[in-house]
Amino acid sequence: MTSEMDKYFAYFFKDEAFGPAVSVEAVAPDEIARFRSKLPEQLLTYWRQHGWAGYGKGLFWFVNPDDYESVLEAWIGDTPLMETDEYYVVARSAFGELFLWGRRTGLGLSVKPLWGMIFPRDCTDAVSAGKADALVQSFLVGLDKASLDQKDEFDKPLFDRAMKTLGPLAPDEMYAFEPALAVGGAANLKNLRKVKCVEHLVMLAQLGERQIMRDIVKDGKAAGIL
């Protein structure tokens, strides 16, 4: 790994104050080579330069897709989405929001497991036009701490309070509500726990109906307004 940063990573790291990185794990060259035909070169460059790590004190994480295969299967394995593309979990938030890369559709699919919602966004045109790297860069500069945070029942952000109360997250941990929101739990600080991320996300997928939301970009293009 190096301290090298392009302008997009520098904006994320410095201007948006997601740095410094925490719990950095170097990515071996053979791992990067294995994903070369599956993920954008720009993402693999960030892996090589910065590793898999947490940012914003652990609010956001770049992750090893292999670690999240069971999560991927639990959330979209039996949905029509899995039949249309080959997906990889490449990042997550402290509260388990997942960001997926699709080889055909790009970095558009996200999952909010606490609420049971799946948000597709088809970026096929950009991928087909050779703009996969640009999608990764746009994703990085578009990350926002407020949108990654989880709000409580009074619409107040929880991350800083959770970290103060429960301590910082390890790379394999997330903050989660117990009881889960899907079974009537309340979104408040006293119900937050540190849990093992993969195991908890798989469990959440089994609690209730998963909702695939509308792709508003696709709808806009179909309507001729985008």
The pLDDT, as a whole number, for residue 208 is 78
The pLDDT, as a whole number, for residue 209 is 77
| 1 part of a folded domain | no
- H helices of 61-131, in order, are 69-76, 81-84, 124-128
DSSP line for 182-201? GGT---SGGGEEEEEHHHHH
> pLDDT for 20-77, tens place per residue?
999 999 999 999 999 999 999 999 999 999 999 999 999 999 999 999 999 999 999 9
State the amino acid at position 132 in one-letter form.
A
Is residue 124 scored above 90 in pLDDT?
yes
**How far, rounded to the nearest angstrom, does the alpha carbon of residue 15 sit from its chain's CA centroid?**
20
Of 109, 113, 43, 117, the closest CA to residue 82 belongs to 109
> pLDDT for 74-84, tens place per residue?
999 999 999 89
Q: Residue 36 burial by CB count (10 A; 0-12/13-18/19+): exposed, middle or buried?
A: exposed
**Average model confidence (pLDDT) across the chain:** 93
| Cβ neighbours of 197 (radius 10 Å) | 26
Average pLDDT over residues 193-219: 84
The pLDDT, as a whole number, for residue 2 is 58
Model pTM score: 0.93
Task: State the residue for tokens 């109360």.
Answer: 165
Q: In total, how many domains does the chain have?
A: 1
- Which domain does 147 fall in, by range? 7-222
121-125's contacts with Cβ under 8 Å and 24+ in sequence apart are 121/215, 121/216, 121/217, 121/218, 122/215, 122/217, 122/218
The pLDDT, as a whole number, for residue 221 is 46
Better pLDDT: 157 or 3: 157
State the amino acid at position 118 in one-letter form.
I
| 2 part of a folded domain | no
